[in-house]
Amino acid sequence: MQAGLSISVVIPVYGDREPIDQVISDIHSVLSTRSQYEIIIVWTPEHESQQSPPQPYSEWENTEVIVELRRGYGRAYLTGFEKASGDIIVTLDADGTYPAKEIYRLAARLISSDSDFISTNRLLHHEVGAFTPIKRFGNLLFSLILRLLFGVRFKDSQSGMWVFKREILKSLHLQETGMSYSSEIKIQVHQTGYRYNEIPIFYRRRKGGQTSLNWIRDGLRIFRFLLKKRFVTKKL
């Protein structure tokens, strides 16, 4: 990767039980000797009684913890991206499902392929049990809808591990605060004319903690967003 480029890793964390320690350790192990980097944890409490994240969150090197009281997957990223200062932004979950050790390789691929945005494809290589039948069906369905309605060429449209140049955020008008954010950013990258690519990764089963995703509830919200985006909202 080009010397001098810095990386911001943005991770949304919900509640106190996300198994993020190994994820942070993996990030440090792959980036500490290769690139300037920062880790931005956007922490949202699960209960109103929770006023601050667990103490260890503030003890990691090169790590900033942002408390975001407003819930939502997209809201966490909107907040985190405002704080990110790296030339390249990388996103992944705190539950160990995405391969944090692949961050540098993906960032290097972004530069070498002259891409502006890379999303990852979890569907080709994954641990047994990583996808429930409804989760896999939902991914395939929304990927098909994105291709049919918007011409977006992603086979895994709901993947949450992205690598992109921070400068493209200036041209995007991202507003979704829920799970639809994953579709919104990909649609806007496509519609704005940025060069994008999709890279296979190995996706693992969730190692612990909790998920705020409900495929029925959130799936319906994503579907409504896509219909509104295609047939009602004409501008970015």
DSSP, residue by residue, 5-66: -EEEEEEEEESS----HHHHHHHHHHHTTT-EEEEEEEEE-SSTT--S--GGGGTSTTEEEE
Domain span at residue 102 reads 6-231
Consecutive H or E run containing 190 = helix 181-192
**Which CATH number goes with the domain that contains 107?**
3.90.550.10
User: Pairing mode, if any, of strands 196-203 and 117-126?
Assistant: parallel
Nearest to 151 by CA among 199, 109, 186: 186
Number of structural domains in the chain: 1
pLDDT along the chain (236 residues), means of 10: 87 81 93 94 84 68 92 96 98 95 97 97 93 87 94 94 98 95 96 97 79 68 88 65
Q: What CA–CA distance (Å, rounded) separates 190 from 152?
A: 6
In a domain, 153, yes or no: yes
Confirm if 188 and 236 have CB atoms less than 8 A apart.
yes
Helix then strand then coil, % of the chain, to nearest 5: 40, 20, 40
pTM: 0.92
In a domain, 1, yes or no: no
Q: For residue 71, what pLDDT is reported? A: 92
- Tokens of residue 123, six digits: 């569907």
In a domain, 236, yes or no: no
φ/ψ (deg, to 5) at 55: -55, -40
In a domain, 131, yes or no: yes
Strands (E), the chain: 6-14, 36-44, 63-67, 88-91, 117-126, 162-165, 196-203
Torsion of Cα atoms, 81 then 86 then 91 then 97, to 10°: -140
In a domain, 117, yes or no: yes
Mapped onto helix, strand or coil, the DSSP state of residue 109 is helix
In Å, how far are 72, 84, 175, 195 from 39, measured between CA atoms?
20, 9, 23, 25
Q: For residue 227, what pLDDT is reported? A: 86
Question: Looking at the DSSP assignment, which residues form a beta bridge with residue 42?
Answer: 12, 66
In a domain, 25, yes or no: yes
Packing angle, helices 21-31 and 103-112, rounded to 10: 50
For the chain, give the longest Cα–Cα distance: 48
